[in-house]
Chain A
């Protein structure tokens, strides 16, 4: 019942998005810079691409599995010879696999790439997606790698709370916590304590004091709110739990403390050159409709409804009119 409801909502969103995109869309390739419009429309199968081997990788959690499937199935539709390695563990492992040529590319978050690969301190990572992308791309180029433009959605850290708590205390932004946070417990991953884009930044940049900081496994980030162990919890903006739910509220980061977590497809220059122009084009096309409500919905179908990422990705591409 609720599943059907959610499905219908998803299709409605996607249909609307597809329509809007059909009217004024731009592909992820160079065309959008020259200002020409182009339908998100069906991915065209190009015979030139057959025989070009492409291995799409991903890290080992729900959102990455879904994204990996979306890229892989999109590229397959364009005629590439696609295989997948969708269980690579951490970003360090994924990057090594890319450098070793085990995979042709994989989806990574701008904030993770800058912080983990290039040791950019968290307070210097832009919270603007385009800025972060430009910076990552410049760094990647030095290592013979490259990245395509970011997704519309950002999977960033955020301060989450129960909607009832938010209403009772009149909270919509993080700044609203001023004068109230000293009576609230904040839960986050152990390392949140010292991160300038987490507890340390909330204290320093927002001038907030909390009753207590409680370290928890990220798997418990909603449990602590549900059980009342914490009134505030560090969540991720694209979480399945936030799909069509009024139960939780995410406080707006009104001071731009938290870095941009948009997804970029990272690949090597060699792979990009050999794969030809369709490669970048398809990646731009499949990302076009990936807004926050859409990715939350896709995550929910896998995390909560236990559907297969491959099927969820297929449905997304189909309802976006990218494949038949």
Chain B
């Protein structure tokens, strides 16, 4: 009985923090909270997410395409991919802080590393799963390797690749929260700043992170629909029916 009530009251306080500026818990007339204040942190977090995701794509997609097309390097694409997921991100970020210093560059590289495995693994697997008869047919019409990749394999593999991109994007965005410890003011400032922002600020930060993560997921799901070839959609509909 009291638990739902407590959750409800902490949510109303958090929304109040998002909507209206107030004095910091530590006093001194310092104003915190309000839409612009919260957006400032959210924007930084979104920016570094976009940069890191772009870097991940630029590296993992070509490698995955080539390896998948050749059918070689499964150990690298899948094994490395899975091992990569096991490395705690905070370790990567702090290690990089000691090597290349703090700030956007550090965070972008660390998050890029986090984003590689899902894209690499999914791209490789997606290409291996492309119907071999379609590839044979393409070769039969005289396409060369590059043409087979870009015109046949990539479109057919696109939905699976996109689901890897979605996973990467969510991982990167959620993890960018800890960038607050290495020089970037993301929403992690709110989540870790209970002494200053109070419980309302902590919950507000968590709510905004969750909402933005869902927004990213929805937006990329839309992209995934767009890049799915009509033929595949029809095929799936038929299988579903």
For A198, the closest partner residue in chain B by CB is B26
Q: Does A197 contact B (CB under 8 A)?
A: yes
Give the residue of B28, B181, B192 whose beta carbon is less than 8 angstroms from that of A196: B28
Q: Does the CB pair B25–A119 fall under 8 Å?
A: yes
On whether A190 and B189 interact (CB within 8 A), knowing A115-B195, A217-B181, A224-B102, the answer reads yes
Those of B19-53 within 8 Å (CB) of chain A: 24-30, 32
Q: CB-CB < 8 A to B94: which residues of A? A: 217, 219-220
Q: Does the CB pair A122–B27 fall under 8 Å?
A: yes
A198 to B121, CA, bound (A): 46
Q: Does the CB pair A215–B183 fall under 8 Å?
A: yes
Q: CB-CB < 8 A to B102: which residues of A? A: 214, 216, 220, 224, 227, 229
Q: Does the CB pair A190–B26 fall under 8 Å?
A: no
For A122, the closest partner residue in chain B by CB is B26
Give the residue of B28, B183, B193, B197 whose beta carbon is less than 8 angstroms from that of A123: B28
- The binding surface of chain A is classed by DSSP as helix
Q: Does B101 contact A (CB under 8 A)?
A: yes
Tell me the smallest distance from the CB of B125 to a CB of chain A, in Å. 37
A147 to B140, CA, bound (A): 87
Those of A208-233 within 8 Å (CB) of chain B: 214-217, 219-220, 223-224, 227-229
Tell me the smallest distance from the CB of B192 to a CB of chain A, in Å. 6
Q: CB-CB < 8 A to A228: which residues of B? A: 101
When each residue 249-265 of chain A gets 1 if its CB lies under 8 Å from chain B and 0 otherwise, what string results? 00000000000000000
On whether A215 and B180 interact (CB within 8 A), knowing A190-B189, A191-B193, A195-B196, the answer reads yes
Q: Does the CB pair B27–A215 fall under 8 Å?
A: no
Q: Does B97 contact A (CB under 8 A)?
A: yes
Q: Does the CB pair B27–A123 fall under 8 Å?
A: yes
Those of A110-141 within 8 Å (CB) of chain B: 115-116, 119, 121-124
Those of A71-96 within 8 Å (CB) of chain B: none
For B27, the closest partner residue in chain A by CB is A121
Give the residue of B28, B97, B184, B192 whose beta carbon is less than 8 angstroms from that of A200: B28
Q: Does A105 contact B (CB under 8 A)?
A: no
When each residue 101-116 of chain B gets 1 if its CB lies under 8 Å from chain A and 0 otherwise, what string results? 1110000000000000
Tell me the smallest distance from the CB of B81 to a CB of chain A, in Å. 29
Number of residues in B with C-beta < 8 Å to the partner? Answer: 27
Number of residues in A with C-beta < 8 Å to the partner? Answer: 29
Q: CB-CB < 8 A to A293: which residues of B? A: none
Q: CB-CB < 8 A to B183: which residues of A? A: 187, 214-216, 229
A196 to B189, CA, bound (A): 16
On whether A204 and B28 interact (CB within 8 A), knowing A190-B189, A215-B185, A220-B182, the answer reads yes
Q: Does the CB pair A121–B28 fall under 8 Å?
A: yes
A116 to B198, CA, bound (A): 11
Q: Does B117 contact A (CB under 8 A)?
A: no
Those of B109-134 within 8 Å (CB) of chain A: none
Q: Does the CB pair B192–A191 fall under 8 Å?
A: yes
Q: Does the CB pair A220–B97 fall under 8 Å?
A: yes
Q: Does the CB pair B28–A217 fall under 8 Å?
A: no
A217 to B29, CA, bound (A): 25
Q: Does the CB pair A227–B101 fall under 8 Å?
A: yes
Q: CB-CB < 8 A to A116: which residues of B? A: 195
When each residue 190-212 of chain B gets 1 if its CB lies under 8 Å from chain A and 0 otherwise, what string results? 00110111000000000000000
For A219, the closest partner residue in chain B by CB is B94
Q: CB-CB < 8 A to B197: which residues of A? A: 191, 194
Q: CB-CB < 8 A to B86: which residues of A? A: none
Most buried by B among A124, A194, A200, A216: A194
Q: Does A201 contact B (CB under 8 A)?
A: yes
Q: CB-CB < 8 A to A214: which residues of B? A: 102-103, 183
Q: Does A193 contact B (CB under 8 A)?
A: yes
Give the residue of A196, A217, A224 whose beta carbon is less than 8 angstroms from that of B26: A196
A121 to B185, CA, bound (A): 24
A122 to B23, CA, bound (A): 12
Given contacts A115-B26, A194-B196, A196-B26, 8 further A-B contacts (CB under 8 A): A121-B28, A191-B189, A193-B196, A195-B28, A200-B24, A204-B28, A223-B97, A227-B101
* Pairs A–B under 8 Å by Cβ, sample size 30: A115-B195, A116-B195, A121-B25, A122-B28, A123-B26, A123-B27, A190-B185, A190-B188, A191-B193, A191-B195, A194-B26, A194-B30, A194-B193, A194-B196, A195-B24, A195-B30, A195-B196, A196-B24, A200-B24, A200-B30, A215-B184, A216-B182, A217-B94, A217-B182, A220-B94, A220-B97, A227-B102, A228-B101, A229-B101, A229-B102
